[in-house]
Chain A
Amino acid sequence: MLKEPLLHFLVLAIGLFALHAAVSKDEERDARTIVVDRVALLEFIQYRTKQFDSETAATKLDSLSSDALDRIVQSFVREEALAREARALELDRTDYVIKRRLVQKLDYMAQGFTDAGADVTEAEARAYFRENAADFYVYPRITFTHVFFAANGRGMTGALRQAEETLAELRNSDTRFEDAPGFGERFMFGTNHIDRTLEDVRSRFGDEMTAALFEDMLASGVWSGPLRSEHGAHLVLVTDRRPGRQPTFQEVAERVTREAQRSVNAERARQATQRIVDTYRIDLRHAHETETK
């Protein structure tokens, strides 16, 4: 039970610093070695989650998959390396806020202040497109109108029967898209649904009807149904489908180039900071100890 959160925070933070200082004295650390031990990881997790509770942090640490642990170790190492490099600029502090700030400062120096950078070539953009095809996938969309009969008051069976009867009428009179509002009952979420994504349709009609609409079972330009939703029965006229597809490079060249540029800039910044990290040796021998010293 947190009674005085701020005080709680301070007591724990001071405790952590004392612990850290004790551990630091305990073994003389080589300036070019980053020791990733349990104490350091626990401290890191607590700061990152802003929950100062070593038991919870320990539980979390012990439950991590090796991948997740690896990611945490990586970000710890990166932070430590960059912080030390920044401290070499004679800003030596042990305050965590400073440490984060110093890392950001180095990142910023690496990135530059604007989104400037050398332009990517078409070949580079094409390569980026091949590697990140999924990011440019065009999701399926559908355009349809519907005639609705509410289950509310007459039950689903009644709504379906009502819809069956009307279907013949719609087909016989060759009812057009724009005439749909002349039939059936008002549907909460509108009559005409133009160029809608699957998520859009699902949020209004639910899973069952969305599946029926997107599975291509319904012929375009023909009144069909009835389809069931949680609201009642629907007769639908699909007039346009844009199936999901992978666009050609030409179609999305401008967007790809932009994204490629962004990724090149980010990669340059990453490499600049990685070069710093790479100058450090990493000592992982104490990372998996279950007892702290």
Chain B
Amino acid sequence: MRTILTVGTCVLALSTPVFGQDTHLYWGDTHLHTNYSLDAYALQNETVDPETAYRFAKGLPVIAGLTGQRAQLETPLDFLVVSDHAEFLGVIRAIGLGDPKMMAIEGGRRWNKMLNEGKGKQVFFEIIQTANKDVNALIALNSKEVRATAWEAIVNAAERHNDPGRFTTFIGWEWSSQPGGRNLHRVVFTPDGKDKAMGYLPYGMIDSAKPRDLWNWLAETAEREDTDFISIPHNMNLSQGTMFPLTDESGNPIDEDYAEQRERWETVAEVTQVKGDSETHPDLSPDDPFAYFEIYDRSITVEGGSAKIEAGSYARSALMRGLTLENAIGKNPYKFGMIGSTDAHTGLSTPDEGNFLGKFTADSIPGTKMKETLPNTVGWEMAAQGLAGVWATENTRAAIAAAFRRKEVYATTGPRIALRVFGGYKFPADATEAVDLAAVGYAHGIPMGGDLARPEGDSAPSLLIHAVKDPLGANLDRVQVVKGWLGTDGKTHETIYDVVLSDGRTDGSVDVGDTIDPETGSYTNDIGAPEFVTLWTDPDFAPGLRAFYYVRVLQIPTPRHSLYNAIALQIDPAETGRPPVIRERAYSSPIWYSPGDDLRTEVPVLVPAGSD
């Protein structure tokens, strides 16, 4: 019996039963800025608005910023969140265009003059400086009227383009708190539509710079409007240790209440994006040969100093810190899934090295990549990444939001590497032979983002892993399992296992090789493997110790966007200041192992006071 469906209201779950593989992989970007964002507009994105951003993500041709060039995505996205900064939402655009409401204010006239003199960057730097010092100085210019108009336009664009079953849009924004230049930014999105979203204005850093105030606002607003939110921290690499702290912003130790709030709103973190990769840092993971990847460690100040490298600044060390805190307070505040997104300010989601249009419109073409955009940063340093892979039952707001809640999501640095991970104790020995691996995974284990409890007896947990190359991209080099655990000494440790390698290698220290031609920027798939499937059992399992496992997949070397640009400009790639080659990768969300509360006595409680 087939249901006849009208075009545009195709809900596949109703029309076609789903067999075995009851989740599908959807690709999206939860972090994209348009000309309604203050910095996007100030840095020359004057034309790409939310409407254009959604059209582009759907695969329709649009006109891009600076040059008026036509841009079109080869492979469209499945979902998109337009997440403009709540602070000054639409305001800088209004000032630049001489909106009378803004021209009535002295500061508006001054910024209008600066924008008209081509000094957008100075306006942006001035806002950064003021926000870092005295946020109250910004209130007068943060026009509620302009923000309300902009919010409605953003909401309308999302509603126009949401197409259940085909393309999902989410209404959202960015809360851009950075006290003293320490980045605490979060993207917030809602699974609901216009009827709920018009009941509030996006909460911004000018309302409060404290994460707990944001969570309280989310709780109150969700209650009042009968709605829901998902909050996603990003750029922990620029947080100077404050994104995953040991004490909250008021100096109180992280307690159970904090952990509960964080668990309610922040189930997922964005660990890779245009301003660098936050999985880990060589200083924190000295034994990880692949830790040096798209490192960007500046503070967001006009002076643009270096960010301190701390455990609270990177995902891997934060996950480990979560184990320590769970041991101390009985609840893990840092139990997050991982995704990638772009944070592009061009309005165009372009995470691939070959189609990268820059962080800002100002650095969107090869000839402008040497321009300063963020303080002391040029376009070459920005990274062409990332993407969010989501295992959801269907492509709708509700189903995708549910996947974020259960953390069945993962990160890639741009390529569409398909990655399934299941954890369990009782996978059949021939699980890797199964034609439908997911059916076996769901039947005998739990998917990425889930929890394993103490087994009966003393069998060690296994991971069933399936990684497949991007159908239109490069082969894979290897699959690794990253394990973090809390030892009997009360300290955390990390181990990286090379679980399976391409080209018959058995020793992970043997490099996969390199097929890149630096003259033309081409590479071949003569090395690496198109697919890996493996069943891995933890050889070092200790049933009494808390642990987490996540999977990291590495691609063979491919050209970085700066190499393509250097070839286009006919300059030496060394002039870009960045390596010409990139090792693209995917990170699964973790699976956590908990021995149960009765075992908290096995490990001494060591929580250093204050930051480490």
Question: Which residues of A does B touch, CB under 8 Å?
Answer: 1-2, 5-6, 48-51, 75, 91, 95, 97-98, 101, 104-105, 108, 113-115, 138, 143, 148, 177-178, 180-192, 194-195, 199, 203-204, 239-240, 247, 251-252, 254-255, 258, 262
Contact check, A195 vs B16: say whether CB atoms are below 8 A apart: yes
Contact check, A204 vs B435: say whether CB atoms are below 8 A apart: no
Contact check, B7 vs A252: say whether CB atoms are below 8 A apart: yes
* Contact with A195, one of B10, B67, B153, B434 (Cβ below 8 angstroms): B10
Whole-angstrom CA separation of A101 from B47 in the bound complex: 11
Known: A6-B370, A104-B97, A181-B439. A258 touches B153 (CB 8 A): no
Contact check, A184 vs B435: say whether CB atoms are below 8 A apart: yes
Question: Which residues of B does A touch, CB under 8 Å?
Answer: 2, 6-8, 10, 12, 16-21, 24, 46-47, 51, 66-68, 75, 94, 96-99, 115-118, 149, 152-153, 156, 160, 365, 367-368, 370, 418, 433-437, 439, 468-469, 471-472, 530-531, 533, 569-571
Whole-angstrom CA separation of A255 from B97 in the bound complex: 30
Could you say which residues of chain A place their CB within 8 Å of the CB of B434? 181, 186
Q: Which of A50, A104, A181, A247 has the most CB of B within 10 A?
A: A181
Could you say which residues of chain B place their CB within 8 Å of the CB of A183? 435
How many Å from the CB of B378 to the closest CB on chain A? 10
How many Å from the CB of A74 to the closest CB on chain B? 12
Known: A101-B116, A114-B152. A189 touches B8 (CB 8 A): no
Q: Please provide the 7 A-B residue pairs with the shortest distance between their CB atoms, ordered closest to farther.
A: A181-B436, A97-B118, A178-B19, A181-B435, A108-B97, A203-B471, A188-B531
How many Å from the CB of A99 to the closest CB on chain B? 11
How many Å from the CB of A93 to the closest CB on chain B? 9
**Nearest-CB residue, chain A, relative to B97:** A108
Known: A6-B370, A114-B153, A188-B530. A49 touches B98 (CB 8 A): no
How many Å from the CB of B8 to the closest CB on chain A? 7
How many Å from the CB of A273 to the closest CB on chain B? 14
How many Å from the CB of B134 to the closest CB on chain A? 30
Contact check, B2 vs A177: say whether CB atoms are below 8 A apart: no
Could you say which residues of chain B place their CB within 8 Å of the CB of A192? 18-21
Whole-angstrom CA separation of A192 from B149 in the bound complex: 45
**Nearest-CB residue, chain A, relative to B372:** A6
Contact check, A115 vs B435: say whether CB atoms are below 8 A apart: no
Contact check, B99 vs A191: say whether CB atoms are below 8 A apart: no
Whole-angstrom CA separation of A105 from B437 in the bound complex: 57
The 15 sampled A-B contact pairs (Cβ below 8 Å) are A5-B367, A48-B67, A51-B367, A75-B68, A95-B118, A101-B115, A104-B97, A105-B98, A114-B149, A115-B51, A115-B153, A184-B435, A188-B531, A251-B7, A252-B8
How many Å from the CB of B113 to the closest CB on chain A? 11
A sample of 12 more A-B contacts (CB under 8 A), given A50-B67, A186-B437, A192-B18, is A2-B571, A48-B67, A101-B118, A105-B98, A178-B19, A180-B435, A184-B435, A188-B531, A192-B20, A199-B75, A240-B16, A251-B6
How many Å from the CB of B55 to the closest CB on chain A? 10
Contact check, B468 vs A191: say whether CB atoms are below 8 A apart: no
Could you say which residues of chain A place their CB within 8 Å of the CB of B116? 91, 98, 101
* Contact with A203, one of B8, B24, B75, B433 (Cβ below 8 angstroms): B75
How many Å from the CB of A267 to the closest CB on chain B? 16
**Nearest-CB residue, chain A, relative to B368:** A50
Contact check, A186 vs B20: say whether CB atoms are below 8 A apart: no
Whole-angstrom CA separation of A91 from B156 in the bound complex: 35
How many Å from the CB of B544 to the closest CB on chain A? 37
How many Å from the CB of A51 to the closest CB on chain B? 6
How many Å from the CB of B47 to the closest CB on chain A? 8
* Contact with B569, one of A2, A195, A239, A254 (Cβ below 8 angstroms): A2
Q: Which of A5, A95, A239, A262 has the most CB of B within 10 A?
A: A5
Could you say which residues of chain B place their CB within 8 Å of the CB of A113? 94, 99, 149
